[in-house]
Amino acid sequence: MHQNKEIEKTFKFSGKDQEMVKYSLNRFSVAPMLDWTDRHCRYFHRLLSQQTLLYTEMVTTGAIIHGKGDYLAYSEEEHPIALQLGGSDPQALAHCAKIAQERGYDEINLNVGCPSDRVQNGRFGACLMGEAELVADCVKAMQDVVNVPVTVKTRIGIDEQDSYQFLCDFIDTVVQRSDCNIFTIHARKAWLSGLSPKENREIPPLDYPRVYQLKKDFPQLMIAINGGVKSLEEAKQHLQHVDGIMMGREAYQNPSILAQVDHELFDASIPVVDTIAVVRALYPYIEQELSKGTYLGHITRHILGIFQGIPGARQWRRHLSENAHKSGADISVVEQALAMVTERM
Ligand SMILES: Cc1cc2nc3c(=O)[nH]c(=O)nc-3n(C[C@H](O)[C@H](O)[C@H](O)COP(=O)(O)O)c2cc1C
């Protein structure tokens, strides 16, 4: 039988105190989100939570192998960080996984959930749910060349293939043919045609009990649940049934939630993080990036929602939105916006 790989890892953070932080691999993570969870976003999220596992946006094997840019760039501070790969050619995936491990990624995740046409044309993403053996071959090919965990993010079904038995057969095939034992399940199916990716995140109904049942039927697997989780209270409820929570849109749009994750979900002795201090802690990073030619707006777009629900939040958001994209915009734009929040405290 397949044994659980060690899921508790100890990571060395490159912060001031070089503190060793212990974390359970998939207890809480921020979802991979194309165009959202880029390296600036992840750097910011890491300031809010040391324990959360951060996923990259999906990076295709084609981009890594043939692309001109460095699609694997990240800052050391972002650990623990998982790279999500998009692809379905075992050799190409293995090649990319190897590079990713060399670059220091802590986990490699295969995307079996994205329903976009572009992805389907490349025969990867959610349509791979219909090709369990190929998914297993992909996972195995990667496992053969890396030591870090290789994990799968998938849906509960596709199109008419949406029975619980279909989901179980998919998981069982992947598990039997590879050593994969960590799955993240987006608790809704995907329609491969007729719905946009956005609609596919909203229209198919969420079915949490199905994911709970999966954990019961495959108790040896680490199962993280994803989809529609909006608070840490909800996260705690889910954790009574599954091993982990992956939060997507809520964490991005309302990132102050991440300031409570370490305290609420990992260790009550860790204080809740002060969001104003986090914005200030981002200044050195912003300065460094500006000096490399990054536009201020490319960083500040990820921090617009940090003060949601606090007096001054609207002014903060508006000031950044209106000024951060201007040429020559620098840290003073952020300081001015921050003052609109702090002066109301
Ligand atoms: C803007 C955006 C981009 C996304 N890109 C990806 C992606 O690259 N890979 C992936 O597996 N899922 C992607 N997703 C789906 C999320 O990872 C997640 O499964 C989905 O949003 C449901 O979780 P939530 O309800 O907590 O947001 C994306 C979602 C959004 C909103």
3 state SS for 26-71: CCEEECCCCCCCCHHHHHHHHHHCCCCEEEEEEEEHHHHHHCCCCC
- Tokens 């045609």 belong to residue: 193
Residue in 28, 30, 33 to alter for ligand 1 test, most ligand atoms within 8 A of Cβ? 33
Residue with tokens 């990571």: 11
| Ligand 1 atom closest to 249 (CA) | 27
Determine what percent of the chain is predicted with pLDDT higher than 90. 88
Atom 26 in ligand 1: residue holding the nearest Cα: 248
Q: Identify the pLDDT of residue 133.
A: 97
> What's the CA gap between 278 and 43, in Å, rounded?
11
153 lines ligand 1 (CB under 6 A): yes
C-alpha 110/C-alpha 57 separation (Å) is 11
Nearest to 187 by CA among 157, 163, 220, 161: 157
Q: Is the CB of 302 under 6 A from ligand 1?
A: no
53 lines ligand 1 (CB under 6 A): no
Beta strands 244-247 and 107-112, pairing class: unpaired
3 state SS of 151? strand
| Helix spans in the chain (H) | 39-48, 61-66, 90-102, 117-121, 132-143, 164-177, 208-217, 232-238, 249-253, 261, 275-281, 283-291, 296-300, 313-323, 331-342
Ligand 1 contact via 184 beta carbon (within 6 Å): no
Task: State the distance from the centre of ligand 1 to the C-alpha of 187, rounded, in angstroms.
Answer: 12
Q: How far is CA 74 from CA 11, 38, 63, 77, in A?
A: 16, 9, 16, 8
Query: pLDDT, tens digit, for every residue of 6-22?
Result: 334 433 333 333 333 33
User: Which protein residue has the closest C-alpha to ligand 1 atom 31?
Assistant: 249
Place of tokens 């694997």: 72
Query: What's the confidence (pLDDT) of residue 25?
Result: 60
Instruction: Provide the pLDDT confidence category of residue 1 given band limits of 50, 70 and 90.
Output: very low
Beta bridge partners of 9: 23
Q: In the 8-state DSSP scheme, what is residue 202?
A: T
Cα–Cα distance measured from residue 109 to residue 96, given in angstroms and rounded to the nearest whole number: 11
Q: Is 111 in the pocket of ligand 1 (CB under 6 A)?
A: yes
- Return the residue whose CA atom lies nearest to atom 15 of ligand 1: 33
> Tens digit of pLDDT for each residue in 150-164?
999 999 999 999 999
Q: How many CA atoms, within 13 angstroms, populate the side-chain half-sphere of residue 10?
A: 3
Whole-angstrom distance, CA of residue 341 vs CA of residue 344: 6
Residue of 246, 249, 250, 301 best suited for mutating to test ligand 1, as the one with most atoms within 8 Å of CB = 249
pLDDT tens per residue, range 207-265: 999 999 999 999 999 999 999 999 999 999 999 999 999 999 999 999 999 999 999 99
pLDDT, tens digit, 9 for 90 and up, residues 43-92? 999 999 999 999 999 999 999 999 999 999 999 999 999 999 999 999 99
Measured in Å, residue 184 CA sits from the centre of ligand 1 at: 12
Residues 6+ apart with CB under 8 A from 29: 52, 53, 54, 55, 82, 184, 224, 244, 245, 246, 247
Q: Which of 114, 127, 138, 180 is catalytic?
A: 114
Place of tokens 């929040």: 341
Helix axes 164-177, 132-143, angle to 10 degrees: 30
Average of per-residue pLDDT values in the chain: 92
180 carries an active-site annotation: no
For a mutational test of ligand 1's pocket, the pick from 28, 30, 34, 37, i.e. the residue with the most ligand atoms closer than 8 A to its C-beta, is: 34
Residue 229, ligand 1, Cβ within 6 A:
yes
* Nearest residue (CA) to ligand 1, atom 23: 227
pLDDT tens-digit series, residues 293-332: 999 999 999 999 999 999 999 999 999 999 999 999 999 9
Residue 155 beta carbon below 6 angstroms from any ligand 1 atom? no
The 8-class DSSP code of residue 178 comes to S
Name the residue with the closest Cα to ligand 1, atom 29. 33
Comparing C-alpha atoms, which of 108, 106, 59, 68 is closest to residue 87? 59
Measured distance CA(58)–CA(86) in Å, rounded: 6
Nearest Cα to Cα of residue 58 among 42, 72, 70, 43: 72
107, containing H or E segment: strand 107-112
pLDDT tens digit sequence for 219-231: 999 999 999 999 9
Task: Report which protein residue has its CA nearest ligand 1's atom 6.
Answer: 33
Residue 59 alpha carbon to ligand 1 centre in Å = 13
